[in-house]
Structure 1
């Protein structure tokens, strides 16, 4: 045992002492005061878990510093000499800087457009909340905690607005392009990394989510980065890389808990490698004691990731288990897998061309996966396992299958498509080569295919700029301009929540069919506004029957959220109902 020698070691030592001090001297009763929570707020067992983990992490940090020499990696010197090459060439740096500028420019137009449902809930329920409440509450699954913290910082610095709340999504989205570049660079080379990052840059869905005040681009960023570092750590065996991997997983979990599916993919690929040599990567697998060494480090990294995740969520976990974990998704089109495919096709909005593009994409995915499986089975299985298990779990749970729940795998999909394009180009070049022989032909045809994909995808990007995601303000203005004296307006279900909380608090609100019946009894001349009809049909079927029978649609305001039209209707008079 020896005292710390470097500045870094001293910092870790002091951080460990700080953690132990917090655990020892701040008791359960003080957390409500420190977090400035309302009187009567019960954090239950959250503070106890927080203190226990602080004590554990503080003790581990001090032990690592004091006992570091005893547990020094016997191949540490070799690892350092074979450390991953993170350096970029001048051409790569220039490319990434240009990529960053262009990607940012593509995500600025319409950034200040009206918020949609989930964004409003994020802003009103979480971003506007006091800091203590932000880190200690998890009432529903709309809480993406790290994104909430980022958006709160942004809105505090720049003032509350749609663009400031969405700014972290832009930054995470642009960062994910760098992450994809690094992962592609490692697995399929620099040219593929450049074209792949450009392809994702002009992806309609990537631009959409980069302008969405939710944590999905952050989840994408940490999913790709964690996968890249996972592959590097397996090959190099460096403890530093394993710690970085643990922190990336923890931060991904802090954004959204579906990061656990990415972790499951890494675990599945690792377990396959333990038993099947063809799934192994990295020098340590091949050493005499490689299996033991390969087993210990990832397991320790996973334990660190889990404990840090628990630390970050500790104060909010009691509410998560009591409320958010039990959110209900009722049977609707949103639970139908075919609906997800349809949403992807509709996003391209180019008629039969959309079907052709998606069909070609699926073909490229299949060919690419087969090719990647032959070249690197470990990478192939971890990329497929995560979205597959995610979908299977949601199907078994009867959960809504929104496309955003699979967005974390977008980087994996693009990498596999790039590989698939290489296969197609090789087959085409082989056919052409019968009459024309050129060694560069497969590469040229592959590049041409990817450039064609980029051009097609770029035509869908402007669709993000024409409309807001949901157009609640236009519906409000239309009704206010056309309502007569004595007319009342009721917004129902989700629309009622939106107008009462944010867009039009002066309108009546009907949360259920009983509210609507009461309002109809009191007001004969009535306008009714709704959105997301599948939710009403699933949760309020009797209300939907009334809307269909008693109201006529007079205007619908579309948005880029498919199926998210804000519908304005008017109550029919009794004569109309009788004639109907």
Structure 2
């Protein structure tokens, strides 16, 4: 090889060529038996395409793209300033906190967020936290990545959960540690985003509101992938702004990494990526309208978004056919969510809002307390758009795209699908307060800063007031219900656990040494209930029920039977909507031994 060839083909280029050939050979020679052995849900229809076939296609496309990069020797060259996003720099104001003071304040708030999220971390796991442990903890990493048994396989959290169990054992606090870590990290991530629209002082206010937020704390102590999704969506949104504005390689690499990890955290990141692509195209259009060279920026956007999307697709290639089958079947069942234009959905939203202000219901007092916060947050939306429109749309559009997709596909809706609006609401509230105080005391900026800070602190106190009830109530009180049943039932009594109460009662019953095989029956059908009643012996029968809405919708005949001939003995509240556990006792043996009237 000549010296000229060595110069034209540096080591990195040769390495990429060898990698491309290796990827292509892997796709061509990949065996099929390992895929056939992956766990599946037998009751679901077969996927439209084999996951291993999809993986082969993805790998071949990846190899082809690598060969094109080698052939054309594509390299990163920074775009000219006229091809980049204008403005959107971190906001600096006269008299603001120094960088050191801002860093100290953020550290204190982050430590507060950590303390709040570690407190009472060992409360009862709820249904959707228990099922990933039982489904995936014993599987290998390739099996976890390649299978999709249920929609609560939040891949990144499931993999971290498995490691936490290996390190600390199967404890409620250990399986929730990944959610805690991402929940805490989300506080400085929001601060970083807020700096595009707010001063350091006001950005600390936004971080404080998120740190004491009931809803963010709820998901931070929930062994699922929602806080990872939130944190990574915030990071990718800020990295996108930086990339469009400065076009530095490090910003684009952070954007791709945050997006791919976001997909691993939650598949809802697909809507984040789609929204960010639309926002980036809007930036390209603005560059074009301003007379700048827009094509280089368009090529950059298409390449970066394609890389992020392609790597994410590669991550899910094996499981994606199963993902499609599970989501399109499960979320057509009304009990998994709500219809958008229904009073039930309105009530659930109102219940969630009121819980964030210290009420477990949707009483007038709780709603009245929430109204000022919501009004202030709404008033701040235009201000955020004016200050940092790319950030505002990057956080707002994913929820709108999610809503459109669910409506078009005829799938059910849950408030958690729009969780990215939580940091947006916090941000808009602080911007509204900041603008309002600045307008009233425009000639006295120090007074405006003091009043604005006090108003944000008052909102934080109002939000923190809800935490007392949150800490006092587990997500689902399985241990309390189990202890009550074991304490109250007589030796000859039987306990019938109905439908969705089964998983949690089995999980905690086995750990408490309850006589599950001898005295407990788990039923999901009317014949199973009749059989349990026929074999009850001389004692009474107790019922344990949870998620009564799902029982009523999925199994109406069974629901009608469990309402006949039973007396409610005790209800144990939970913070999960409709996740409270009720215990019923048989009134009259004859009343429940026959068929329903």
Q: TM-score, normalised by structure 2?
A: 0.84
8 Å contact from structure 1 (residues 512, 543) kept in 2: yes
Q: Which residue of 2 aligns with 1:361?
A: 373
Q: Which residue of 2 aligns with 1:448?
A: 454
8 Å contact from structure 1 (residues 217, 408) kept in 2: no
Q: Which residue of 2 aligns with 1:113?
A: 123
Number of residue pairs matched by the alignment: 557
Deviation at 1:323, TM superposition (A): 2.9
Q: Is 146-155 or 543-552 further displaced after alignment?
A: 543-552
Q: Which residue of 2 aligns with 1:127?
A: 137
C-alpha change, 1:311 and 1:286, in structure 2 (3 Å) is: same
8 Å contact from structure 2 (residues 392, 424) kept in 1: no
Q: Which residue of 2 aligns with 1:544?
A: 559
Distance in 2 (alpha carbons) for counterparts of 1:419 and 1:84: 16
Distance in 2 (alpha carbons) for counterparts of 1:486 and 1:288: 83
Of 293, 298, 303, the residue aligned with 2:301 is 298
Deviation at 1:149, TM superposition (A): 0.6
1:353-432 equivalences in 2 (<5 Å): 353-395=365-407, 397=409, 399-429=411-441
Q: Is 395-404 or 363-372 further displaced after alignment?
A: 395-404
Distance in 1 (alpha carbons) for counterparts of 2:266 and 2:565: 41
Q: Which residue of 2 aligns with 1:533?
A: 548
C-alpha change, 1:49 and 1:576, in structure 2 (3 Å) is: closer
Question: What CA deviation, in whole Å up to 9, does each residue of 1:229-271 have, x standing for no partner?
Answer: 1111111233543343233222212211111222232233334
> SS of the counterpart of 2:180?
helix
Q: Does residue 349 of the first structure (1) align with residue 358 of the second (2)?
A: yes
8 Å contact from structure 1 (residues 16, 58) kept in 2: yes
Q: Which residue of 2 aligns with 1:433?
A: none
Deviation at 1:62, TM superposition (A): 6.4
Deviation at 1:73, TM superposition (A): 4.6
Q: TM-score, normalised by structure 1?
A: 0.86
Of 251, 264, 278, the residue aligned with 1:241 is 251
C-alpha change, 1:85 and 1:69, in structure 2 (3 Å) is: farther
Question: What CA deviation, in whole Å up to 9, does each residue of 1:285-305 have, x standing for no partner?
Answer: 746312x12222222222112
8 Å contact from structure 2 (residues 564, 591) kept in 1: no
Deviation at 1:30, TM superposition (A): 5.5
Q: Which residue of 1 aligns with 2:531?
A: 518
Q: Which residue of 1 aligns with 2:570?
A: 555
Deviation at 1:490, TM superposition (A): 0.9
Distance in 1 (alpha carbons) for counterparts of 2:575 and 2:407: 26
> SS of the counterpart of 2:444?
coil
C-alpha change, 1:301 and 1:513, in structure 2 (3 Å) is: farther
Q: Is 319-328 or 498-507 further displaced after alignment?
A: 498-507
8 Å contact from structure 2 (residues 243, 252) kept in 1: yes
Deviation at 1:71, TM superposition (A): 6.5
Of 496, 501, 505, the residue aligned with 1:495 is 501
1:328-343 equivalences in 2 (<5 Å): 328-331=331-334, 334-335=338-339, 336-343=344-351
Distance in 1 (alpha carbons) for counterparts of 2:69 and 2:498: 57
> SS of the counterpart of 1:199?
helix
Distance in 2 (alpha carbons) for counterparts of 1:15 and 1:156: 33
Deviation at 1:517, TM superposition (A): 2.8
Distance in 2 (alpha carbons) for counterparts of 1:539 and 1:37: 22
Question: What CA deviation, in whole Å up to 9, does each residue of 1:82-119 have, x standing for no partner?
Answer: 99899x94334433333332221111121111110110
8 Å contact from structure 2 (residues 547, 578) kept in 1: yes
8 Å contact from structure 2 (residues 124, 477) kept in 1: yes
Q: Which residue of 2 aligns with 1:478?
A: 484
Of 188, 191, 211, the residue aligned with 1:201 is 211
Deviation at 1:450, TM superposition (A): 0.7
8 Å contact from structure 1 (residues 110, 465) kept in 2: yes
Q: Does residue 28 of the first structure (1) align with residue 40 of the second (2)?
A: no
Deviation at 1:484, TM superposition (A): 1.6
> SS of the counterpart of 2:176?
helix
Distance in 1 (alpha carbons) for counterparts of 2:320 and 2:445: 59
Distance in 2 (alpha carbons) for counterparts of 1:517 and 1:576: 12
> SS of the counterpart of 2:567?
strand
Distance in 2 (alpha carbons) for counterparts of 1:447 and 1:534: 43
Unaligned runs of 5+ in 1: 431-436
Distance in 2 (alpha carbons) for counterparts of 1:257 and 1:307: 14
Of 442, 466, 480, the residue aligned with 1:460 is 466
> SS of the counterpart of 1:567?
strand
Task: Say what the alpha-carbon RMSD is for the aligned residues.
Answer: 3.4
Distance in 1 (alpha carbons) for counterparts of 2:453 and 2:209: 12
Distance in 2 (alpha carbons) for counterparts of 1:224 and 1:234: 16
Distance in 2 (alpha carbons) for counterparts of 1:74 and 1:263: 22
Deviation at 1:120, TM superposition (A): 0.7
Q: Which residue of 1 aligns with 2:513?
A: none
Q: Which residue of 2 aligns with 1:253?
A: 263
Distance in 2 (alpha carbons) for counterparts of 1:544 and 1:69: 64
C-alpha change, 1:31 and 1:576, in structure 2 (3 Å) is: closer
Unaligned runs of 5+ in 2: 92-97, 511-515
Q: Does residue 288 of the first structure (1) align with residue 292 of the second (2)?
A: yes
> SS of the counterpart of 1:561?
coil
